[in-house]
Structures are given as C-alpha cells and as structure tokens.
Amino acid sequence: MELNNLTAHELIQKINNKETTPQDIVASLHKRIKEKDAQVKAYVRSDELIDPTHIAGIPVSIKDNICTDGYNTECCSKVLEGFKPPYNATVIEKIKAAGHSFLGLKLNMDEFAFGSSTENSHFGPTHNPWNLNCVPGGSSGGSAASVAADEAIWALGSDTGGSIRQPASFCGIVGLKPTYGRVSRFGLIAFASSLDQIGPLTKDVRDAALLTNIISGHDANDSTSINCAIPDFTKSLINDVHSLKIGIPKEYFVEGLDPEVKKVAEESIEKLKNLGAQFKEVSLPHTEYAVPVYYIIATAEASSNLARFDGVQYGFRADSSNLIEMYKKTRAQGFGEEVKRRILLGTFALSHGYYDAYYLKALKVRTLIKQDFDNVFKDFDCIITPTSPTAAFEIGEKTDDPLKMYLSDIYTISANLAGIPAISLPCGFTKKGLPVGLQVLGKHLDEEMLFRVAYTYEQNTEWHKMKPKL
C-alpha cells in the first residue's frame, strides 16, 4: 500500500512506530499528484511545493481561500492574482502548533466559493475522480477530489451553504461543517461572514474528528468565534447508536430528490435502524424558503465583503490613467460572471427601498428556519437527510442555468442559516457508480453526536473503503 492511500490516523501510527517519515509521505503525495492531477485538476498553481525543512506530521491540503503566509491565496479569482498574504489563517497556525504542516499546494474552488461544481474557477474545473466527465461538487471541489483521488491525506475546505458537505458527498468522502463559531474564520477570505465555516474533508470519520480537534477553538482575532471548551472529538468515536432518537424531515424526501439517491439514503437509514437507532418522521416547515433566503443573505454579505477588491490593495490591477476607471476596469476584468451576478444581486437586495422587502425579510425567515431545528432538537438527538438531491452531475450540465445549480444545495443550506453542525459521509453508490452522501445534522455545538452516529455507520459499512479507479 502506497503512503498516499492511507488515512492520517494510520500514518500517525506509522510515524510513531518509526515506519515512515513526514518527508516520505510528502514524496508519495507528490508522486501521485504528478501522475494523476493532470486529469483531476484538484490543485492550482502546482509549482509551489513546501520548503522541505518545513515538513512535519501529516501534511494538510488547503483550499485557495484560506490564507497561507507567503503562498498565493487567490480564491481562484483573477482579481487576487499574485496575492501572497503576509500571515497565516488561524487554522494554519493551529495545524502547525499540532505538529503538522501545510502541503504547500492550494486546492481548486469556485471563484470566491460561489458555486456548487468548481466550474466557476478562474483555473478551469476540477474533475470528479469517480468519473472524470462529472463535477466534484463545490465550492470545495478541489479539496474533495484531492482526498478522494489520494492526492491529499486530508484537506480543509469552507462551507457557506454546503461547500464542504456537497463535494464530500459527490466524491465519496467525509466532510464536516462545524457549528458556526467553533472554528476561527480569521484568515478565511470572507464570502458571507454570518454563514462561513472552515471544516475538514477526510477519508474517514476518525480523521475528521482528529482534524476538528486541531482547528477548533476560540480566537481573539475572530469576534464570532465561541469561547467554550473543546471536547476531544475522538472520544465520540463510539460504535453505538442504541436508543438514539433520529428525525427524518418529511420536507426533504419530496419531488426533486433523485429516486436512486432516495433509495440509497433509505437503505442507510434502515441500516442504522438495525443497529438500534429509533427513527421518526419530523417536520422542518420552513425548508422551502431556505434557498431563496440563503441567496439573499449570502449575496448581500458577499457584495459588501467583495467591495475591497478594487485593484488598490490586493492582486490584479487593470491599466488605467484615472483612478475611477482603474476601479471599474479591475472589477470588470478581475471578477468572473457568477461573482458579478452575485454582487449585483446582493447590492440590489441591500439598496434603499428594497432592504426591508428583501434583506430584512430574509433575516426574519432565517430565524424561523433556526426555530424549526430548535423545535425538532427538543425531542431528537440528530436529523438525517441525503446530503444532496442528486449524485455528481456532468461538467457543463448546469452552467447555463444558475437556478438549477442553486438547487443542488437545497439540503445543506439550512444548517448554515441555523448555525448548526452537519456532517456528510459516504453511504452508497448510484447504478452508474457515483457516490451518494448521507447528512447528519446536530444541535448547536453537538459535533460529538454527529461523530458518534457517523462512526457507527462507518464501522458497520464498507463504503468509505472504496476507491475510484483512476
């Protein structure tokens, strides 16, 4: 078995037993990347290798919107071309403090994390390792594809409306969006600040727990980070779901859910039932508003966050003899089509006369969506749904229809609006051999329940051991 095929916890064991070294692991990853990344295209600017003296522990691959000191961080946008942050995001500092390192290569993503397929990247799309004609999901498509293709041991992504969980589901790996505030956003280039969270994409649940242990915690540099004790999440890796009460929201099993995905999800629920969990149908009545509410709030916040990219401080600057022209040209040439669409939408929703009708209304419905979850969690330990209504779709299939694309996050968006944690784990395949993901949603700060349910399911199934043939 090549080192790059192993999980982080297996490699930690090997390092402790003096059977391998961090240098060997990096060498094995580089070999794999050289052989396979021309097809997968998970990494961008692949010339930036880590300085060998900085290699330690298990290298983590990082999404291109997380600041890495001295390494390009461009959000896969032309507007940030050449931007090298002078500091590390808090998560990178925490990875170093835990004895690990950043691999040195950055992962592909939809420009500014706006998308569900990684097709909005300035560098072109990433391909799904299970079927190279399909998308890997998005926006953390590079993160998910690199882990699934064994071009990364583990990776970090960001999730504003599903961008960790949906690509994890499309690529057959584990992805966690922690509770809002569990992980510092300092150094994560903001998309929608009230929704964004950094989280792990890994080959199994144990690695997700390990990486969550490392990146969690209060940070004085992020005023929204929560000051509370961090449990050791590996203690929640308990193979037992006896008498846990799990809700199945009826609003998620309706039209639009692909019949094959539905079948696979129902079989997984059956499996957990046989392992002793108690299931009951529940209702999240405001689910139908999640997508419209998200696209008002997320674009409103994005239009404000992206105002700083004007050619003065960061990255790309268009040629011009006059300042106002320079701002205009930089933004016109630097941003891609989807980014422009969202800046326009968000600016409109915040404009005088429309603020109350759209933005304020969306905030109110957001509260109702959160209350739906609070009500269910009074009687239930967690909620289970499919992660996405379909398996991976073909590259190009939805690019002409933004609304269709937006619907691929219908099951993931509510967790961000409510601020609650949610995990996606592999639970089967479609007839065409594409992975399907199961989502477990939990109470605020109750990642422990998610790890327990996910671990139990994983220990009693083989899905996480399947590898794509590349």
316 is written with which tokens? 């790309």
| Region of residue 156 (phi > 0: left; psi between -120 and 50: alpha; otherwise: beta) | beta
Q: How many CB atoms are closer than 10 A to CB 429?
A: 17
Strand partners, 44: 106
Q: How many CB atoms are closer than 10 A to CB 295?
A: 21
Smallest gap, in angstroms, from Cβ of residue 378 to ligand GLN? 28
**CA–CA separation, 53 vs 35, rounded Å?**
24
Rule CB under 6 A: say whether 204 interacts with ligand GLN.
Answer: no
Catalytic residue (choose from 41, 63, 398, 443): 63
Only segment of 8-16, 74-82, 153-161, 280-288 that touches ligand GLN (CB under 6 A): 153-161
Rule CB under 6 A: say whether 121 interacts with ligand GLN.
Answer: no
Smallest gap, in angstroms, from Cβ of residue 34 to ligand GLN? 29
Asked if 439 and 384 count as a contact pair (C-beta separation under 8 A), the reply is: yes
Catalytic residue (choose from 28, 101, 146, 163): 163
**CA–CA separation, 451 vs 439, rounded Å?**
12
# residues contacting ligand GLN (CB under 6 A): 13
Rule CB under 6 A: say whether 191 interacts with ligand GLN.
Answer: yes
Smallest gap, in angstroms, from Cβ of residue 460 to ligand GLN? 30
Only segment of 72-80, 114-122, 381-389, 417-425 that touches ligand GLN (CB under 6 A): 114-122
Among the listed residues 116, 126, 387, 414, the single contact to ligand GLN using CB under 6 A: 116
**CA–CA separation, 318 vs 79, rounded Å?**
9
Among the listed residues 114, 170, 373, 380, the single contact to ligand GLN using CB under 6 A: 114
Rule CB under 6 A: say whether 409 interacts with ligand GLN.
Answer: yes
State the Cα angle at 110 between 56 and 354, rounded to 5°. 130
Rule CB under 6 A: say whether 298 interacts with ligand GLN.
Answer: yes
| Region of residue 78 (phi > 0: left; psi between -120 and 50: alpha; otherwise: beta) | alpha
Smallest gap, in angstroms, from Cβ of residue 163 to ligand GLN? 3
**CA–CA separation, 66 vs 243, rounded Å?**
40
Smallest gap, in angstroms, from Cβ of residue 29 to ligand GLN? 25
Rule CB under 6 A: say whether 126 interacts with ligand GLN.
Answer: no
Only segment of 112-120, 284-292, 362-370, 425-433 that touches ligand GLN (CB under 6 A): 112-120
Rule CB under 6 A: say whether 199 interacts with ligand GLN.
Answer: no
User: Which is closer to ligand GLN, CB of 104 or CB of 199?
Assistant: 199
Smallest gap, in angstroms, from Cβ of residue 438 to ligand GLN? 19
Rule CB under 6 A: say whether 115 interacts with ligand GLN.
Answer: yes
Smallest gap, in angstroms, from Cβ of residue 433 to ligand GLN? 24
Smallest gap, in angstroms, from Cβ of residue 341 to ligand GLN? 11
Q: Which residues make Cβ contacts (< 8 Å) with residue 362, sequence separation at least 6?
A: 292, 293, 296, 297, 300, 349
Nearest to 407 by CA among 229, 233, 273, 288: 288
Rule CB under 6 A: say whether 163 interacts with ligand GLN.
Answer: yes
Q: Which residue is nearest to ligand GLN (CB)?
A: 163
Instruction: Determine whether 139 is an active site residue.
Output: yes
Catalytic residue (choose from 61, 117, 121, 139): 139
Instruction: Determine whether 163 is an active site residue.
Output: yes
Query: How many H-runs (helices) and E-runs (strands) does the chain carry?
Result: 14, 11
What DSSP letter does each residue of 63-131 carry, written as one string? ETTB-BTTB---TT-GGGTT---SS--HHHHHHHHTT-EEEEEEE--SGGG--SSSTT-TT----BTTB
What DSSP letter does each residue of 382-426 carry, written as one string? EEEEESSSSSPPBTTSSTT-HHHHHGGGTTTHHHHHHT--EEEEE
Only segment of 7-15, 46-54, 156-164, 307-315 that touches ligand GLN (CB under 6 A): 156-164
Rule CB under 6 A: say whether 216 interacts with ligand GLN.
Answer: no
Instruction: Determine whether 432 is an active site residue.
Output: no
Only segment of 161-169, 276-284, 305-313, 343-351 that touches ligand GLN (CB under 6 A): 161-169
- The dihedral over CA atoms of 147, 401, 391, 374, expressed in degrees to the nearest 10, equals 90
**CA–CA separation, 164 vs 109, rounded Å?**
11
Rule CB under 6 A: say whether 213 interacts with ligand GLN.
Answer: no
Instruction: List contacts with ligand GLN (CB under 6 A).
Output: 113-116, 139, 159-163, 191, 298, 409
Residues with catalytic annotation?
63, 139, 163
